[in-house]
Structure 1
């Protein structure tokens, strides 16, 4: 999806529903769309911040301005890519709020990356397990473990309004990038199916606009991934090939900056198909089993 026309509301607190406001970080890119969206949940008493974003002073100041006189009781992270969690530590230092949410994750990876690398500074005060909740004045945020984009990815359900904060797991503007070895396509599909069985009213992703028809989008995303699987199997039926050999046929007219992301996505599919016994590899070359 093409970028929307500027100006974007970077650094501005925008109310998206009575219990939820968002602040857009100044980090637009082909992978982050207009930037990372930090959410402030709650109005009076105490509030929570979801995905504090990059460690950018202007963004931290914008979050503090959005919080205003309320007490920040929790800084919650969906996962630890560097566009999501690095502001957690400085925000905690300035407010005294604990960092809670996903587990820490450090992945050594010297290969090409199709997404922001992991934040190795992330050190939560409390890790939320699946089904565990944080509560405050008029709000309850319950964690859902949704591995796939990353193994430590969480979504947070706002029980009072039926909203789900989906991080990078589901976004309206783009499919999520699944980057092995930590990203896992099989886990990603299972997590999508889990969300598809829920009845959330709206999704608030970390990038892009709210998803007003979430179950419809999830069905479409599952169908899209299955279509990609079928493309891969069809192409391997024609000839064995390296990962790069899939891209021209599967991603026609792709922006060259996004080729590494496409190659990682194909690799994630191939690894999943290999695990299921449908394909095998010989060095860098893949073929049907």
Structure 2
């Protein structure tokens, strides 16, 4: 259990309920956000933990859920959509389903039970009294990832695209580093004053964080190129050199992040694969 209160008000239009699924990939757990008053939207209902579904229902007691909105279909984000819809009759909407498995074996994995009533694309919206959620397509962490803008609060619900505690893992073949970087760049011109991520605290200086995230990924890319400048190397060798002191539970995820960078660099003609070894392109 956790000392986290059942429901926290983080903005006059936004409440959040924390799922009890802490891990090296989820921080303290997945945060389900409730938007509005009276007639509300639930963003990222989270894992299918009966206690969490009950906590969401308790948090909106006396209100009506009019939309269950999903940013992407990792298993810590969408499985509770079905039980919540069954309990309330609310439609499930947001990202498109992904039927393939990422093959990583990581706990994130895709939720193949996700079956939306409405698939949303860039610019689509859903609204209620005093609130509007507008879809912003941000592929990269997953190919189906959406953020949702709440213009009435100058806020953006960023799912796992931008988190308040760590950078996102990008897992090929569905995750795409080039798309992820482009999606970070896409947010830069926006006027959002605050981000509400699915993991970690609200982000009150979005542009500063975005610049830091972009810089971090570019540094990682340069680190890979410098490492390969010393000679061909395997991904485990690169992880050992680049992620000193890494939690062993995160080594596989780090390797997949490196692979995502390598695929992007390969597509840009900077590196090449030779079996399990990678080297600089001639």
Could you say which residue in structure 2 is the equivalent of 1:56? 49
CA distance in 2, matches of 1:109, 1:140: 33
CA distance in 1, matches of 2:116, 2:271: 39
- CA shift, 1:249, in A, is 1.7
Could you say which residue in structure 1 is the equivalent of 2:85? 92
Is 2:110 the partner of 1:118?
A: yes
Structure 1 alignment gaps of length 5 or more: 1-5
Q: Does the CA-based 8 Å contact 1:24-1:36 persist in structure 2? A: yes
CA distance in 2, matches of 1:265, 1:135: 36
Could you say which residue in structure 2 is the equivalent of 1:35? 29
Partner deviation per Cα, 1:6-64 (whole Å, 9 max, x = no partner): 94416x111001000000001000000000000000012x1000000001110001000
Q: Does the CA-based 8 Å contact 2:8-2:15 persist in structure 1? A: yes
Could you say which residue in structure 1 is the equivalent of 2:224? 232
CA distance in 1, matches of 2:167, 2:132: 28
CA distance in 1, matches of 2:164, 2:85: 30
TM-score (norm 1): 0.95
TM-score (norm 2): 0.98
- Superposed, 1:66-105 pairs within 5 Å as 66-105=59-98
Partner deviation per Cα, 1:137-191 (whole Å, 9 max, x = no partner): 1100000000000000000000101010000000121000000000000000000
Paired residues in the alignment total 281
Using the TM superposition, name which of 85-94 and 241-250 deviates more. Answer: 241-250
- CA shift, 1:70, in A, is 1.1
CA distance in 2, matches of 1:177, 1:158: 25
Could you say which residue in structure 2 is the equivalent of 1:3? none
Could you say which residue in structure 1 is the equivalent of 2:12? 18
State the Cα RMSD in Å.
1.1
